[in-house]
């Protein structure tokens, strides 16, 4: 069984593989438990990073509050 490089699973976890390649990865994941565990952990990591970035964006004050207009 030929496994894909880890980078391929990372791009797959991000949802950025072309459809044809994603289908090939999914077919492989159905047969390879080692790669399935890797892909699952990368998907969990991707979701955690997305949530952290969203929380960080929500916590940042807007630019208008950071730099109030100057009086002349």
Assigned domain for 1 exists: no
Assigned domain for 65 exists: no
Assigned domain for 40 exists: yes
Return the closest-CA partner of residue 5 out of 30, 35, 33, 48: 35
Q: Say how far apart CA 13 and CA 46 lie, in whole Å.
A: 7
Instruction: Kindly report, residue by residue over 11-47, the tens digit of the pLDDT.
Output: 999 999 999 999 999 999 999 999 999 999 999 999 9
- Number of folded domains that form the chain: 1
Range of the domain at 21: 6-57
Counting runs of H as helices and runs of E as strands, what totals does the chain give?
Answer: 4, 0
Assigned domain for 52 exists: yes
The DSSP secondary-structure symbol of 17 reads S
Assigned domain for 22 exists: yes
pLDDT reported for residue 66: 59
């Amino acid at each position: 069984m030929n496994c894909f490089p880890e980078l391929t699973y990372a791009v797959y976890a991000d949802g950025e593989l072309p459809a044809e390649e994603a289908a090939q990865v999914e077919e492989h994941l159905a047969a390879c438990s080692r790669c399935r565990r890797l892909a699952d952990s990368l998907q969990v990591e991707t979701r955690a990073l997305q949530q952290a970035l969203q929380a960080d964006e929500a916590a940042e004050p807007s630019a208008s509050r950071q730099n109030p207009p100057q009086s002349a």
